[in-house]
Amino acid sequence: MKIGIVCYPTYGGSGVVATELGLGLARKGHEIHFITYRRPVRLAHFEANVFYHEVDSEDYPLFEYPPYDTALASKIVDVVKYQNLDILHVHYAIPHAAVAYMAKKILLTQGRYLPVVTTLHGTDITLVGNNHAFAPVVEFSINKSDGVTAVSQSLKDDTLEQFDIQRNIEVIYNFIDFERFRKTNKDHFKKIIAPNGERIIAHTSNFRKVKRVEDVVLIFQKVLKKVPSKLLMIGDGPERQHCEKLCRDLNICDDVRFLGKQDAIEELLAICDLFIIPSENESFGLAALEAMACEVPVISSNSGGLPEVNIHGETGYLSEAGNVAEMAKYAIKLLQDEALLKTFRANAYAQARRFDIENILPHYERYYQEVLEKSVHKVE
C-alpha cells in the first residue's frame, strides 16, 4: 500500500506512534509518505521506501497566525495526486482530521476519492478536543473520516461520551518495538547516577499540567526518606521550571537530575527500578509501556487508559490521581522488597509483550484494508 501519514513531528506520544508505525509498515514493504512541518524526531535514518514531504507554511505580514491548516491541505492534495497514495492516516484529530476532510473534498472535485483514517491519541479528545473552541470541528471530522481508531478502550469510551459520534471506533493500542526497548546492561552508567547503589526512579513526559509532574517530586521526597534513591526527570515542558524550584525548596536537588529531552530513553530505562506516571488524564501511557518493556514496574494514577496497561498488584500499582501519599507508599513497598521487585519486573515485561509492534502492525494493516474495501465506489 502507499500510505500517507500526517502527524506532529515532535517528541509527543502521537508523533512517536505515527513515526514508529510508518517505519514498521515500511519494513513490511509498504511505501510511506510522512507529511508534516518538520522531520519527525524518530525519523532519523534513510529508509528506502520512506518519504518525507515538508509542509511549507508561507509567512506574510498580514498573518498573525500563519495558516498551517491551509498549507497542510494543499500539501496533502499534492502528495496524494503525484505519489498516487491509496490511503491517508492522520494522527491527532486537531487539526489533522479536519484538514484531511478539506483535502479529500478538493481531490473529489478532481475525480479522486481519498480514504482517511483518523487516530485519536488522547488530549485531542479529553483536554483540547472537548473545548468549545474546537469541539464542533472535532466531532464533524471524526464522523467524516472513513476509519477512526483510538489508542485505548478508555479513549474510545470518552470519545463516545463527549461527542455525538455516528460511526464505529476501532481500538488499536499503542505498541512497542522490542528491537529497541529492552533491558540492556548499562551498569557503567548506573554507577555514575547512583554511585552508592541507590534505587533509580524515572519519569518521562512533556511536563504539561495534565502530567502532574509536581506529584512525581512529592512522591520522590517521601520515598527518599525511607529508601536511598535517585530521580531522573526526562523530558521538558511548561512545568519543568516549577518542578526544579520545588526540588530546591524541598532540598532534594542532589538526588534529582533533570535530563531534558533525550533520544535514547531505553538506555536510561535500562538502569531504572521504578517508573512514575501520576497523570490527571492519560489515554494510554506510552511512556509507561516503554518502561515496562525495559522491565521497570510502574506507579501510576488510575486515569484514562492506564489501567489497560499497568495492572494493579502485578506490573505496578495504581492510585487515584493526586493521591501522592498512597503512590509513595506503594513505591516504598516495592523498592524495599527485592523479591517483590523482581516479580514485578518480570510481570511488567510480560505485560509489555502484549503490545509488541509485531502484533499491532497487522491490526492496522487489516483496518486499512477494511477501510479501502468500503471506500472503493465512494464518491461522497
Beta bridge partners of 170: 149
At closest approach, how far in Å is the CB of 123 from ligand GMT? Answer: 5
* Interacting residues toward ligand GMT by CB under 6 A: 12-15, 17, 92, 121-123, 151, 174, 206, 210, 279, 281-286
Amino acid at 304: G
Residue 224, helix vs strand vs coil: helix
Distance of CA 306 to the CA centre of its chain: 12
At closest approach, how far in Å is the CB of 194 from ligand GMT? Answer: 27
At closest approach, how far in Å is the CB of 141 from ligand GMT? Answer: 16
Whether the CB-CB separation of 279 and 212 falls below 8 Å is answered with yes
Nearest to 291 by CA among 277, 307, 312: 277
Q: What is the DSSP string of 7-75?
A: ---SSSHHHHHHHHHHHHHHHTT-EEEEEESS--TT--S--TTEEEEE--PPP-TT-SS--HHHHHHHH
Distances (CA, A) of 5 to 192, 292, 310, 335: 40, 27, 29, 42
Of 221 and 283, the one with the shorter C-beta distance to ligand GMT is 283
Of 122 and 147, the one with the shorter C-beta distance to ligand GMT is 122
Of 184 and 359, the one with the shorter C-beta distance to ligand GMT is 359
Of 15 and 24, the one with the shorter C-beta distance to ligand GMT is 15
At closest approach, how far in Å is the CB of 220 from ligand GMT? Answer: 20
Of 123 and 145, the one with the shorter C-beta distance to ligand GMT is 123
Alpha-carbon distance of 204 to 211, in angstroms, equals 10
Residue nearest to ligand GMT (CB): 122
At closest approach, how far in Å is the CB of 120 from ligand GMT? Answer: 9
Nearest to 234 by CA among 243, 224, 226: 243
Of 281 and 315, the one with the shorter C-beta distance to ligand GMT is 281
Three-state helix/strand/coil letters over 258-317: EEECCCCHHHHHCCCCEEEECCCCCCCCHHHHHHHHCCCCEEEECCCCHHHHCCECCCEE
Of 121 and 156, the one with the shorter C-beta distance to ligand GMT is 121
At closest approach, how far in Å is the CB of 7 from ligand GMT? Answer: 9
At closest approach, how far in Å is the CB of 283 from ligand GMT? Answer: 4
Of 90 and 194, the one with the shorter C-beta distance to ligand GMT is 90
At closest approach, how far in Å is the CB of 195 from ligand GMT? Answer: 32
Alpha-carbon distance of 144 to 370, in angstroms, equals 16
